[in-house]
Amino acid sequence: MGNGYGIWISFVLAVWSYVAMIANLGPTWLLNDPIVSGLFVGAVVGNVPLGLALGGTLELMSLGLWTYGGATTPDYTTGAIVGTAFAALSKLPTTEAMAAGMAVAVPVSLFMTQLDILGRSLTTIFIHGADRAVEKQDEAAFSRWHLLGQLPWGLSRAIPVFFAIWLGSGPIQTLITNIPAWLTRGFSTMGHILPALGFGILLTFLPIEKWWTFFVLGFVMFAYLNVPLLGIALAALAIVLIYFSLKPVEAAEEQAEEAEVEKVEQAPSPVTHKDLVNAMWRHNLTLQLSWNYERMQALGFAWSISPILKKVYPSKDDYFAALKRHMVFYNTNPAIGSPTIFGASCALEEKKQPEVGDSLKVSLMGPFAGIGDTVMAILMKPIFAVFAASMALRGSTGGAWLMLALGFIWFYLMFPGFWLGYKQGLGLVRQMSSGAVTRITDIASTAALFIMGGFIPSILASVKTPIEFTKKVTIEGKEVLQTVKLQSTFDAILPYMLPLLLTFGVYWLLKKKHWTNLQVLLLLVVLGIVLGAFKLL
């Protein structure tokens, strides 16, 4: 297994790893699923059953893993690509080839988490480049920064895959073996704590000081009652709607807002159906190309809605001011949630209600992320994956087609989701708030805080300390050593104490100390590496 493949096969597999990653970022196609990649690589190297078996095994290992809030998980897709290629290269019997392939695939999957974090961090360069382009009113540069944002994502897979396949397993295994353990721990810890930045930013947009009780309710349901996220989302919807249905609305305020809505809806629109289709395809195909730790999907959202803004704001100054307004933090489920939010934002921009649109976007992205991630990661994907893996392990290509079908289902749902949000427009506001535009923000904000109360500890659950203390105690006249785990002490005081402290620490720096997102990001990177290296976190 020391020799690699020719340069052309290495190039083809590198291109596949690039395309598979980009397809997942935009249209949520599951080309990057381990079984799908196992089938493709198996076909290229001439051993489809081996590729399916490795892909199916890695698929089962990935059950339950999901990039909640931008969390980094082992890259079993790259593991499937490299593992299948090496297993086929070994020319061993199937059972032994599987063992050899897994021996390479697993460490490669874990090693790729470090490159994944690096790729996600480098994309921060692109969001700041887009900021400068907007300030200079350079639309071409603004578009380039978004579209080129895919490079760190794709190349972080394509380059290591190319050299791994070309050089053979020997150098790759040597590289992985020689990485200092402290550095690996540091990068791993950094990956665990970085999602706290997104949550901290999101909290700055939500009225947590006013509605903190709803956050506490969500936290108690998750931490003490073990209610799953979908259950928390449903409870949030019910409790929030009941609360606001019992809260009286001033009649004069409601009538004034309804009159304003009717006035806006009757205004002629410069936006054409072609503009809407253009914006919809931009969103559905490229939303996450420039995803970054600082503002996540913000640049993709701004670039996608730009055709609408250009028609609504013919003045160049007004157009770029609107673009800048959409460059703030944004992150939600890209398939179930974001299309509807995006469609509603397009409608509200078209109706020249940017304040309502911005409030709706900020308020709904949290709840929609919780619902969308729960439906996709907890309900749909595990069910499909189990069936697909069982077929793949039997040598059937049906498993790969099943996972591809799931990806295309998610992609298909994005289109009716967009038109649902757009066609409702201000009607969505009226339906959810009985005509009171000011109440929609409160409803969505409180629901978001309710769900985030469970969402934050669930995503940051891996933020724990391994610190232990030993002390001598006397039991029945004998001295024995007793081990005290610091994490157990924290849990006894307050479950998920460290995730909460981390998230609200980020919130405090952003909201109270006015740190920039980049400053907090750099702080978390340093903290993650140092605390992980010294085994403090």
- Residue 480: inside a domain, yes or no? no
Domain end marker among 459, 485, 520: 459
- Residue 464: inside a domain, yes or no? no
Structure tokens at 250: 């001033």
Task: End-to-end CA distance of the chain: give it in Å, rounded.
Answer: 37
Q: Report the domain count for the chain.
A: 2
pLDDT (tens digit per residue) in 278-294: 999 999 998 888 888 77
Q: Looking at the predicted structure, is the pLDDT value of residue 130 above 80?
A: yes
157 and 287 belong to one structural domain = no
99 and 146 belong to one structural domain = yes
Structure tokens at 393: 């392990």
- Residue 527: inside a domain, yes or no? no
182 and 222 belong to one structural domain = no
- Residue 277: inside a domain, yes or no? yes
- Residue 259: inside a domain, yes or no? yes
- Residue 222: inside a domain, yes or no? yes
Mean pLDDT along residues 12-29: 85
Closest CA to 124 of 522, 532, 533: 522
- Residue 496: inside a domain, yes or no? no
Any idea which residue has 């209600």 for tokens?
353
Contact 235, 221 (CB under 8 A): yes
Amino acid, single-letter form, for residue 308: I
Contact 345, 276 (CB under 8 A): no
- What values do phi and psi take at 394, rounded to 5? -90, 0
Helix, coil or strand: residue 278: helix
Check residue 333 and give left, alpha or beta (phi > 0: left; psi -120 to 50: alpha): beta
Which residue stretches of 73-207 are H helix? 76-90, 94-122, 124-135, 139-147, 150-167, 169-178, 181-193, 195-205
306 and 402 belong to one structural domain = yes
Per-residue confidence at 426, pLDDT binned at 50, 70, 90?
low
Domain end marker among 193, 218, 238: 193
Inter-helix orientation angle 195-205/181-193, to 10°: 20
Domain extent, residue 54, equals: 7-193
Per-residue confidence at 441, pLDDT binned at 50, 70, 90?
low
Q: Looking at the predicted structure, is the pLDDT value of residue 207 above 70?
A: yes
Closest CA to 430 of 264, 257, 246: 257
> Can you name the residues that pair with 480 across neighbouring β-strands?
473
314 and 383 belong to one structural domain = yes
Amino acid, single-letter form, for residue 257: E
Give the span between the Cα atoms of 47 and 283, in whole angstroms.
37
Amino acid, single-letter form, for residue 414: M
The pLDDT score that the predictor gives to residue 518 is 66
Contact 337, 371 (CB under 8 A): yes
Amino acid, single-letter form, for residue 59: E
317 and 449 belong to one structural domain = yes
11 and 110 belong to one structural domain = yes
173 and 311 belong to one structural domain = no
184 and 275 belong to one structural domain = no
Domain end marker among 130, 161, 193: 193
Q: Looking at the predicted structure, is the pLDDT value of residue 38 above 90?
A: no
Burial label, 3 (beta-carbon count in 10 A; 0-12, 13-18, 19+): exposed
The pLDDT score that the predictor gives to residue 491 is 84
pLDDT (tens digit per residue) in 73-91: 677 888 888 888 877 776 7
- Residue 429: inside a domain, yes or no? yes
170 and 266 belong to one structural domain = no
184 and 328 belong to one structural domain = no
Least confident of 11-25, 199-213, 297-311: 199-213
33 and 97 belong to one structural domain = yes
Q: Which DSSP helix (H) or strand (E) runs through 483?
A: strand 478-485
pTM exceeding the 0.75 threshold for the entire prediction: no
Burial label, 473 (beta-carbon count in 10 A; 0-12, 13-18, 19+): exposed
